[in-house]
């Protein structure tokens, strides 16, 4: 049975009518799910309601600033369960078992959303779930603060590549314009999320760049990363490595081979009209048209690359 579908008004009404909220972010949390959770939690608290946030996985220190959106509050037993930016109950990670069946309202923006909550407010055209949260907070008339605006801004900017990607719409920019009327250091935050590189990341990139291999007349670029190269690099530094080869001019398919305990995991990205999901499915993998992956167990890096590139060649030639 599917979720009851809510618009912005119904979602706001639901929040107004309930209390003692537990707001759950998805596992392996990113800026959007955290920005949604902290901004909505802060707004609900500012309305005099009880609200707290949880996430199955550890939160990177880069998001510490978001805590400032929450006025202190005594602990309480939750009565209303919300999820934000969660496309599927499986993405709740270790919290799925306890909460997956009991979500009262899911607020999301994924086209691929799989119903799990009793009620769903989903705007699949939104660049970030935080666009919807912003509109719900406005509809609620909850007091907006500089700190809440900062959470919403980072949620939107991190999910849209700082307004770079095709998911951005006029509404995305209109909301950003509204948020910039509040006082927070958006350019300092953008520096941290987009420009800053740790020394470990620089060292990793240097190693990766020196090992780029080109195939198919330069239309395919492959980078291989050993476990040793990734050790000592924290998750934030490791993120985005998969996108490096596809950023090279003329490259239609970018491949990153990451060493695993039992073999190699291939992450494929494509720019042009190549469907990498199809290529990965040959090896039992999956994903999306532009981003997909597959695993090679118990074979050498050279053999794994040979098999994969043979499939890529079929498409690119």
Interface positions with a second copy (CB under 8 A): 157, 161-166, 168-174, 176-178, 180-181, 186-187, 190-191, 194-199, 202-203, 205-206, 209-210, 212, 214, 218, 243, 247-250, 271
Give the residue with the Cβ less far from a second copy, 45 or 269: 269
C-beta closer to a second copy: residue 82 or 244: 244
Q: CB 202 → a second copy: shortest distance, Å?
A: 6
- Give the nearest distance from C-beta 118 to a second copy in angstroms: 34
- Work out how close the CB of 23 gets to a second copy at its nearest, in angstroms, rounded to a whole number: 27
Among 85, 70, 72, 84, which Cα is nearest to 147's? 70
- The answer to whether 68 touches 45, Cβ cutoff 8 Å, is no
Instruction: State which residue, 218 or 284, has the beta carbon closest to a second copy.
Output: 218
Report the nearest approach of a second copy to the CB of residue 190 (Å): 4
The contacts found for 279-282 with CB under 8 angstroms, 24 or more apart, are: 279/253, 279/308, 279/311, 279/312, 279/315, 282/311
Q: Which is nearer to a second copy, 76 or 165 (CB)?
A: 165
* Nearer of residues 36 and 156 to a second copy, judged by Cβ: 156
- Encode burial over 74-93: b for 16+ CB neighbours within 10 A, e otherwise: eeeebebbbbbbbbbbebbb
- The minimum distance between CB 97 and a second copy, in angstroms, equals 37
Residues 6 or more apart from 35 whose CB is under 8 A from it?
Answer: 66, 128, 130, 133, 151, 152, 153, 154, 155, 156, 158
């Amino acid at each position: 049975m599917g979720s009851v579908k809510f618009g912005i008004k119904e979602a706001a009404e639901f929040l107004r009518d309930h209390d003692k909220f537990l707001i759950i972010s998805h596992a392996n949390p990113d800026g959007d799910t955290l920005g949604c959770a902290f901004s909505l939690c802060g707004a609900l608290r500012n309305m005099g309601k009880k609200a707290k946030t949880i996430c199955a996985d550890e939160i990177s220190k880069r998001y510490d600033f978001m805590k400032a959106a929450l006025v202190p509050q005594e602990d309480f037993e939750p009565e209303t369960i919300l999820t934000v930016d969660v496309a599927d109950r499986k993405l709740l990670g270790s919290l799925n078992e306890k909460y997956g069946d009991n979500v009262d309202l899911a607020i999301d923006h994924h086209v691929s959303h799989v119903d799990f909550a009793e009620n769903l407010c989903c705007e699949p055209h939104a660049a970030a779930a935080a666009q919807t949260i912003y509109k719900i907070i406005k509809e609620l008339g909850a007091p907006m603060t500089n700190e809440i605006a900062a959470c919403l801004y980072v949620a939107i900017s991190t999910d849209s590549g700082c307004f770079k990607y095709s998911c951005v719409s006029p509404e995305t920019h209109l909301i950003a314009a509204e948020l910039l009327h509040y006082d927070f250091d958006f350019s300092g935050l953008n520096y941290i999320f987009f420009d800053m590189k740790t020394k470990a990341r620089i060292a990793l990139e240097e190693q990766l760049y020196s090992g780029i291999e080109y195939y198919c007349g330069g239309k395919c670029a492959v980078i291989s990363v050993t476990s040793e190269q990734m050790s000592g690099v924290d998750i934030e530094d490791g993120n985005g490595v998969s996108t490096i080869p596809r950023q090279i001019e003329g490259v239609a398919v970018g491949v990153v081979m990451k060493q695993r305990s039992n073999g190699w995991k291939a992450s494929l990205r494509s720019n042009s009209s190549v469907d990498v999901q199809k290529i990965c499915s040959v090896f039992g993998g999956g994903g999306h048209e532009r981003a997909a992956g597959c695993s090679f167990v118990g074979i050498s890096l050279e053999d794994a690359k040979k098999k994969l590139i043979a499939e890529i060649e079929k498409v690119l030639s």
